[in-house]
Amino acid sequence: MADRLAGTRILILETREEAQFSRLLAEQGADVLQCPMFTIQDAPDPAPIEAWIRRSIAAPFDDLVLMTGEGLRRLMTVVRRIGVETEFIAALGKARKFTRGPKPGRALRELGLEPQITTEKPTSDGVAELLARYDLKGHRLGLQLYPDKDHTALIGAIKAGGAEVAPVLPYVYDAKAADANILTAIDEMTAGKVDAIALTSSGQPRRLFDVAKAHGVEERLRQGLARTPIASVGPVVTEDLAAHGLTPSITPAGEAYFMKPLISAMMTTLGGKTPRAGPH
């Protein structure tokens, strides 16, 4: 299986796990073009985060919904800074834990905890559909959110089920970062110098189009995507693509929505490509 992607140039936009994704692709022989989409920063005002943490310790939630692994890890950074790690982990252990896809589950396991329920569809709608199956009347529910998403419908659905919702948003995106890199990536795709673009996080397609529109090159971006196979890690990214009239040509088999199955799908589709000659 080694070197199955030899001769291919893969554009990746991942930021949080970019180094790992790049390494896994390189192990298969790919030439990886890295394009960070944004930087992730702690929430600018730590006070609401600290208050949420202390509230969860004083009166542990009946249910906890974790939308991202990054969110839990950012919460733990604050937890350790204010010196309540043991108490917070104990409080988490008392809650019934729902996770949106596998990443929050991995973050929980880093703390010695396990999710009780993982969504079949790792989307906000999937979370709402899952929670609708449970009697939440009178429950106190902690909800860890993520940036660049309107969560009004999800919060409304939970409240409609009779729960008291306590949301927390522990990090933000710096959307102004890396515009120059994104414009370069658009040029590379348009010139036919990219064999596939791998999309691994929600918001990436929107970020591409936002930057393209801001710089007057949306048509150029569409031309580049038309000639570049699009690999999507799962339904969240695919929904974002559909909002822009795009459909991925490479997706993981089954319902394995993470990096290694995506790379396997790319190997199946792109493997055996004739190596490129000369500089890119």
SS (H, E, C) 173-192: EECCCCHHHHHHHHHHHHCC
What's residue 23's pLDDT?
Answer: 87
Where would I find the beta strands (DSSP E) of the chain? 9-12, 31-34, 39-42, 63-66, 96-99, 117-118, 140-144, 164-168, 171-174, 196-199, 230-232
What's residue 273's pLDDT?
Answer: 58
Asked whether residue 125 is domain-assigned, the answer is yes
Query: Does one domain contain both 81 and 200?
Result: no
Q: State the residue range of the domain holding 138.
A: 41-173
Query: Does one domain contain both 184 and 247?
Result: yes
Tell me the two tokens of residue 157: 């659905």
- What region, left, alpha or beta, does residue 142 occupy, with left being phi > 0 and alpha being psi -120 to 50 degrees? beta
Q: What are phi and psi of 96, to 5 degrees?
A: -80, 125
Query: Does one domain contain both 66 and 164?
Result: yes
What's residue 177's pLDDT?
Answer: 62
Number of Cβ atoms within 10 Å of the Cβ of 35: 22
Q: Which segments of the chain have a pLDDT < 70?
A: 1-3, 14-18, 175, 177, 256-257, 272-280
pTM (2 decimals)? 0.66
* Cβ atoms 69, 106 nearer than 8 A: yes
Asked whether residue 148 is domain-assigned, the answer is yes
> For residue 260, what is the domain's CATH number?
3.40.50.10090
What's residue 279's pLDDT?
Answer: 40
The domain total for the chain is: 2
Query: Does one domain contain both 194 and 208?
Result: yes
CA atoms within 13 A on the CB side of 70: 18
Q: Write down which residue in 122, 149, 173 finishes a domain.
A: 173
Distance between first and last Cα of the chain: 25
Q: Write down which residue in 173, 202, 221 finishes a domain.
A: 173
What's residue 277's pLDDT?
Answer: 38
Number of Cβ atoms within 10 Å of the Cβ of 71: 22
What's residue 96's pLDDT?
Answer: 97
